[in-house]
Structure 1
């Protein structure tokens, strides 16, 4: 098992112990020097759940909590669950199941309420929400923004972070302002699948070299991720679980020690309140 001399955190990936690689992906991550994971639940429908009530999301969340517990046993550090409702669910509800946008929003907010209970109990670290990254009707857009703002209110009450799935952008200050209006500091809003430059939320940068070079040169808080989807039907989708450790090695070799400390020690503490150095002593 390679030791890179630093904590190595993948801020956003998925693990599917039933249909995907599951713990084998964790072993790959650890063998290359990875130490910590933030594991986001897969979209509910990809785990066979067509929710009718907020409680129906519980099995999705429990699947993630369980695999995170097993993953932690394989890591030099540990893993944490990030739970919520994928914003793409709104389209599935409206277009495939005949929900009105407002009804879809109500169900998705109820799912977030359930995710919040896992955070409140100490079984999850943060929430996940957002809005579609593709074209939707005005009514669906409004409904999606209502869901996202609800996530901010829950996170403010829980004193936790929110990871967002949104459209590609380098300026999301309006979203950060919505969070702050609800009592959630902007830095605790994390834009998943971000480029190296972002105004407003904290960027979770896709671990491609060009994006990471921008983030490293900016010297602003950032995180690193793969968005590994763990879907055998999409083997080449996004990045694999070995990528973050490999990119950390590449950054260190290029003299970006400060950027590595930023992404894997300082920003995780700043955003989530987690100590990736102390948890290496587990």
Structure 2
């Protein structure tokens, strides 16, 4: 297959070398023309027991760093880690007997640890958000507190925050919360986004209908698969070959400018990374 003459970044992928496809998924991505990955740590309950304190998150983060190092060795570009706390953890903790406030405090402690990795240069960005499913008012309030804490940390260590939230095309209020905490809205990314989004930067799920909308606009956007690397969910979300395939399709459709926006300009805007120089 002919090479794609552009960096190709998947903005949100999970890798699990111990239980999933791991580096085989990276090889699939690279073989199709993928060059750069942002690897997000899997939810903590997928990699062991529920966390009980701040240090409980370290195993999850270190596992992700190992996968990123191995992935970078297989890419023409490189991979970067995105570390944080999946917002669904709040429900697991409450179901396990914690109050929403206790769950909030534990999740914020996990984010504190993730921010240390960013401050040390070992991670690129943070992950947070709020449940995408119905929860009671106390859990919703606790989740919003966790997300705002992530914004505060992002401002403190000067990094972007990837969000897992409910489906929406208008998260202006969330972007305003980030700015209240000192984080510019261009450093707030909604993962699993549609083609248009008010507020944060959309990380668009790489389905053609969503990408057509994003490409028709002149707004910044990123592309992702949310590949979960879970052998128990082989058909969940999109596979690792999808982003390079969709980039090729966008180029064939004449959307060269949109490809540059998604894979060169927006990564620089959001994360301060140069996907061209790192090839």
TM range (shorter): over 0.9
Does 2:250 match 1:251?
yes
Q: Which whole-Å CA distance do the structure 2 matches of 1:54 and 1:211 have between them?
A: 38
C-alpha deviation, 1:2, in angstroms = 4.7
The aligned runs of 1:1-282 (5 Å cut-off) are: 2-95=2-95, 97-280=96-279
**Whole-angstrom distance in 2 between the partners of 1:7 and 1:278:** 10
Asked whether the 8 Å contact 1:65–1:81 carries over to 2, the reply is yes
Please report how far the alpha carbon of residue 50 of structure 1 lies from its aligned counterpart in structure 2 after TM superposition.
1.4
C-alpha RMSD of matched pairs (Å): 0.6
1:43-91 deviations in Å (ceiling 9; x for gaps): 0000013110011100000000011001000000000000000000000
Write out per-residue CA displacement over residues 108-133 of structure 1, whole angstroms, 9 at most, x where no aligned residue: 00000000011011000000000000
How far apart, in 2, do the equivalents of 1:196 and 1:2 lie? 28
- For 1:54 and 1:175, how far apart are their aligned partners in 2? 25
* Structure-2 separation of matches of 1:108 and 1:274: 27
Structure 1 residue runs of 4 or more that deviate by more than 2 Å after TM superposition: none
What's the CA shift string for 1:152-200, capped at 9, x where partnerless?
Answer: 0000001100000000000000000000011100010000000000000
- In structure 2, the CA distance between the partners of 1:258 and 1:193, relative to structure 1 (3 Å rule), is same
CA contact (8 A) 2:50 2:93 kept: no
Segments of 5+ residues of structure 1 without an aligned counterpart are none
Gaps of 5+ in 2: none
TM-superposed CA distance for 1:256, in Å, is 0.1
Q: Tell me the secondary structure at the aligned position of residue 155 of structure 1.
A: helix
Distance 1:182 1:140 in 2: 21
* TM-score under structure 2 length normalisation: 0.99
Render the CA deviation track for 1:186-219: whole Å, top value 9, x for unaligned: 0100000000000000000000000000000012
Give the paired residue count.
279
